[in-house]
Structure 1
């Protein structure tokens, strides 16, 4: 898993981007598939999730997950909130989770779309699913604003400047060729830096531009720089597999004894 131990030491938030290895799933889902919606054996998926959470020393009983729908809805879990109610809202369709509560992991699943984890010095974090629709619609900046609100900050831009933003493995610009209509939407939203002359789109540049427009510092944006399409033996790739594959994950939690 890709993680940031210095972050964990500084603010108590552990983050991870998982790969394919280390699980019990077989076939096209081999082996650490974390997605329950891809026709894999459910018991295998739950065991894979347990292994990830255990490796991070996170609670393995209560975990916030989302029914991802390529939108921009973000759910928020505060200390005083009922996890069951927030989980119910998340299963109705959302693509981001803001967690201001301790000892509650959030897990989202991916296979080419960009996983994004944002962490505040306060320990509040968000885990976001940014496919092209979510990226161009500004889900990263929406998560930042929701985090600021959860922490009681009126100045969301000032809040964003102190946050770290991590972009995990996803389909890279070298493989993400888009049609003219999608290219134009990215150009209109973020300018030419995220669209190459050959029609390939950089989700990383788009997400970074969106976050920075909301106040985030580019120096605090870290990218794994791993293309899932080019590295489909290490990560699940929807495009490389022809649509039948598992899902790797992005997970975070704040530990509080």
Structure 2
């Protein structure tokens, strides 16, 4: 799986493609939001002008080639949990059902329906996109979701929904706070060390979430060679991505977005 950084009008995406599936991680520039959310903020829950967020989301969907299906956009209420919601149809009834479920709280959406864009928002937590023959998943993996193995759970749901084997799934890890930047408590390090062999609680308090996510993906059957992690840092590259820690808790949200074209 190859990624490229591409400009679409004002919007910059780190994007990839697999057959009819296009996906991207958005950068923070090219939108209409004002400071402290400048400028391509995609989150409605941070205090930004809702009209600005709506325009930013429209620009992202246009860049992805999905603007015609803007009305089908799924944006779940992320609660740092391990709930995975699947959608297999773009009918109004199915979209309403999925939105109701997603509003209750979901941190991963599996989609096997053409014409349904999916967007999740981030500002240090780890975005993961899975692609398979006939479907995709977009995952929000903070420390709680990572500990509970939400990435692996989404692999299993996607494989069943798409009718494929887990070893046919590709995974891409997007911009996040990296393992040499994310300092946590001793207690949390010990919890992760007990759950994920290879994490050494005695080595310090820096937690590598992407290591644990890769372990969950492999445990679910994804081949290690099919996992791509360009190690994009939200902290070091705060000019490109939003960072809750680097910006003192007040900032916008970049996104992981995916879409399967009709065809």
TM-score (norm. length: structure 2)? 0.90
> Is the alpha carbon distance of 1:180 and 1:202 closer, same or farther for their aligned partners in structure 2, counting shifts above 3 Å?
same
Q: Cα offset for 1:150?
A: 1.3
Name the one with the larger strand percent: 2
Q: Is the 8 Å Cα contact of residues 194 and 205 (structure 1) preserved in structure 2?
A: no
Q: Secondary structure of 1:211's match?
A: helix
Is 2:150 the counterpart of 1:139? Answer: yes
Which runs of structure 2 are paired with 1:2-81 in the superposition (5 Å)? 2-5=14-17, 7=18, 11-58=19-66, 59-79=69-89
Aligned to 1:192: 198
Q: How many residues get paired?
A: 247
CA distance in 1, matches of 2:218, 2:210: 12
Q: Which moved more, 1:235-244 or 1:185-194?
A: 185-194
The CA RMSD over aligned residues, in Å, is 1.4
CA distance in 1, matches of 2:201, 2:219: 18
CA distance in 1, matches of 2:58, 2:131: 23
Aligned to 2:3: none
Q: Which moved more, 1:12-21 or 1:191-200?
A: 191-200
CA distance in 2, matches of 1:200, 1:69: 23
How far does the alpha carbon of each residue in 1:172-231 deviate from its partner, in whole angstroms, 9 at most, with x for none?
011101111111221122112476812211111110000001111110000121110122
Is 2:235 the counterpart of 1:223? Answer: no
Aligned to 1:156: none
Runs of 4+ in 1 over 4 A off after TM superposition: 193-196
Where do 5+ consecutive residues of structure 1 fail to align? 154-158
Q: Is the 8 Å Cα contact of residues 187 and 194 (structure 1) preserved in structure 2?
A: yes
Is 2:125 the counterpart of 1:119? Answer: no
CA distance in 1, matches of 2:240, 2:87: 32
Which runs of structure 2 are paired with 1:99-248 in the superposition (5 Å)? 99-120=111-132, 122-152=133-163, 159-193=165-199, 197-248=203-254
> Is the alpha carbon distance of 1:42 and 1:188 closer, same or farther for their aligned partners in structure 2, counting shifts above 3 Å?
same
> Is the alpha carbon distance of 1:77 and 1:24 closer, same or farther for their aligned partners in structure 2, counting shifts above 3 Å?
same
Q: Cα offset for 1:77?
A: 0.1
Q: Is the 8 Å Cα contact of residues 194 and 206 (structure 1) preserved in structure 2?
A: no
Where do 5+ consecutive residues of structure 2 fail to align? 1-12
Q: Is the 8 Å Cα contact of residues 41 and 253 (structure 2) preserved in structure 1?
A: yes
